[in-house]
Structure 1
Amino acid sequence: MAAILTSLRNTVIAGCVLAAILLIMYFVWDGQAGQLFWAFIFRWLHVISGVMWIGLLWYFNFVQIPKMPSIPDDQKPAISKVIAPEALFWFRWGAMSTIVTGLILAHLNGYLGDALTLGAMNDFMVHKHTAIGIGMWLGIIMWFNVWFVIWPNQKIALGLVDAPADAKPAAGRTAMLFSRTNTLLSIPMLFAMVSAQNIY
């Protein structure tokens, strides 16, 4: 067991194997690979991606950003040169995967257009489509912030691209403010997503 748990790669493989066993059980119990099955698969991938994305967003905002001022200057490069670039890699690709799988899921379930227009395409309002649409738009705004504001500014702040030294503090502040914006938006976004599945 230690050979599995001391290696992240082996841990993830073991988790995938267990998920594959559950998938086999589904097919043994007369499961079929129809539309509902693929909608489930993309919902599962959407949730996994979202956990990676929002988990890292909350790590940055609840742990890393508040604790950076208390880290001695000689130890800060460990965060800015090693941990932050790796965390930002998984953060931005978690965001991309969450958006892509979410849009595919909405298409498979037949409400993509209704959700993106907040139900305006119908003659009557479907509250579920409005709720999921609000969640989708908040998620899209957050994704945009990650890829087109936070990541470009973090590259400057962390010194991953050539930029004047005096540009780093402003870039860091911009990245932080948009990260905090995403933290703010994540709370109603998750409310809208979960309410669409449970109360409408």
Structure 2
Amino acid sequence: MDITEWLNLALRWLHLITGIAWIGSSFYFVWLDNHLTPPKQGDASGELWSVHGGGFYHAQKYMVAPAQMPDDLHWFKWEAYFTWVSGFSLLTLVYYVGARSFLIDTQKLALEPWQAIGIGLGAIALGWVVYDRMCRSALGRNNLAMGVVWYGFLVGAAYGLNQVFSARGAYLHIGAMVGTVMAANVFMIIIPGQRKVVDALIAGQAPDPALGARGKQRSLHNNYMTLPVLFIMISHHYPMTFGADRPWLVLALVSALGVAVRHVFNLRHKGKSSPSLFAAIVALIVATTGYVAWEKSGRAQAKGPDLTYADVQPIFAKHCLSCHAEHPVAMPAPPLGVMLDSAAHAGAMAPRIQKVAVDAQVMPLGNMTNMTPQERAKLGAWIAGGAKP
């Protein structure tokens, strides 16, 4: 039994479940905030009536705190904590334990695993330090200005990490940086602030309004960072994103799109709309897909009508057949059933070869066999010519 694969599945499933719980509660409370109306009676700052699941709900919000502590108070925190713990565990299992296969790209930088792991952990820690300092500075008093600067920092980090790691590894570390910031906001700012408010109420003191304002700001930031993180979580399934010549630019465009979409929803919750924002979303979609298509057309392989399987078989033998053969020597069975040990097998897999070995260049894993650009171009030419046997 392959314990590593089962552990991978368990962590990925846990990450998905807890992520849904965290994001769901986050989206709900932002929606709730944007739909509150002044109460008809009482000292709450806002209220909302809603219906769900056959019942009616009456939610009230106190801007700082109620006059008296309720007997039972629910804290929304474990969803965030377990999302981060499961995500970091998955990052460790896949990209740190398997650093040579998934994180290191020897064509960019011949790192030892400990060096790559150190850079990755340093980037994650640096992300929180930079973000937190921004929030505490004068810049933090203007959410729009800070958002622009923070976005620029992340784009720069994506560019820098792409010079060091595999494109997938760079993407996942940007996701880890942002995810860590979001979880740290809950663990280090929002929950401690709420605890101080509760302690003040118990002691019969007036809570500090700044604590609630600070927590609300960090919660708002988390709301806007959610969709870019979700994109990164699924991006490894789509090589046309991280496999671009400038994957950091694709990430920047899609992340900007995610932020814009989130802002549209936030405006709609308030009963507002912005035609210019809709136009910006359309422009971002066109820019992203257009850029990827332009890149692909620019590096399209010239057809090689004279190339046959015999011409590319040495490439497969050198870089692929230890795993992708009917009886591989590196593992019990060919991964995903992909076999390249005959003209028929390889021809049937030509589109997949194009996607992972020519376009995205994620195979061989970690490029441990040092497949050259010339060899990739030859494979592309063979495929462009019809993948002839």
Deviations 1:150-188 (A, max 9, x none): 1122334xx522164261x32222111110011111122
Aligned to 1:40: 9
| Deviation of the 1:115 alpha carbon | 4.9
Greater helix percent: which structure?
1
Partner of 2:132: none
Which of the residues 217, 223, 230 maps onto 1:177?
A: 217
- Mapped to 1, the partners of 2:213 and 2:195 lie a distance apart of 12
Map of 1:105 onto structure 2: 90
Residue aligning to 2:198: 160
RMSD: 3.1
Which amino acid letter does the alignment assign opposite residue 165 of structure 1? A
**C-alpha separation in 1, matches of 2:38 and 2:194:** 20
> Does the C-alpha gap of structure 1 residues 153 and 111 become closer, same or farther in structure 2, counting only changes over 3 Å?
same
Q: Percent identity?
A: 27
- d(CA) in 2 for partners of 1:105 and 1:72? 49
The higher relative CO (CA closer than 8 Å, separation ≥ 6) is in: 1
1:11-22 aligned at under 5 Å gives the runs none
Aligned to 1:10: none
Instruction: Determine whether 1:55 maps to 2:43.
Output: no
Cα distance change, pair 72–36 in 1 and its aligned pair in 2 (3 A): farther
5+ residue gaps, structure 1, are 1-31
Report the AA paired with residue 44 of structure 1: W
Q: Which residue of 1 aligns with 2:187?
A: 147
Q: Give the letter aligned to residue 196 of structure 1.
A: H
- Structure 2: which amino acid aligns with 1:39? N
**TM-score, normalised by the number of residues in structure 2:** 0.37
Alignment of 1:131 onto 2:116: no
The one-character-per-residue Cα deviations of 1:91-148 (angstroms, maximum 9, x if unpaired) are 3111111111111112221337275447979985311011111011101001110011
1:85 CA displacement: 3.8
Aligned with 2:10: secondary structure? helix
Report how many aligned residue pairs link the two structures. Answer: 161
Q: Residues 128 and 197 of structure 1 are in contact (CA less than 8 Å); yes or no, is this contact kept in structure 2?
A: no
1:8 aligned residue: none
Residue ranges of structure 2 left out of the alignment (5+ in a row): 48-58, 62-68, 98-116, 124-156, 243-389
Which TM-score applies when normalising by structure 1? Answer: 0.67
Name which of 69, 74, 83 aligns with 2:42. Answer: 74
Aligned to 1:109, what secondary structure does the other structure show?
helix
Alpha-carbon distance in structure 2 between the residues aligned to 1:186 and 1:122: 22
Distance change in 2, residues 1:173/1:72 (3 Å): farther
Does residue 92 in structure 1 map to residue 43 in structure 2? Answer: no
Q: Decide which structure has the larger Cα Rg and report it.
A: 2
Mapping of residues 115-130 of structure 1, within 5 Å: 115-116=120-121, 117=123, 125-130=165-170
> Relative to structure 1, is the Cα distance of residues 134 and 42 closer, same or farther in structure 2, using a 3 angstrom cutoff?
same
Q: Distance in 2 between matches of 1:173 and 1:72?
A: 24
Do the aligned partners of 2:14 and 2:86 also contact (CA within 8 Å) in 1? yes
Q: Distance in 1 between matches of 2:217 and 2:161?
A: 35
SS at match of 1:74: coil
Aligned partner of residue 200 in structure 2, secondary structure: coil
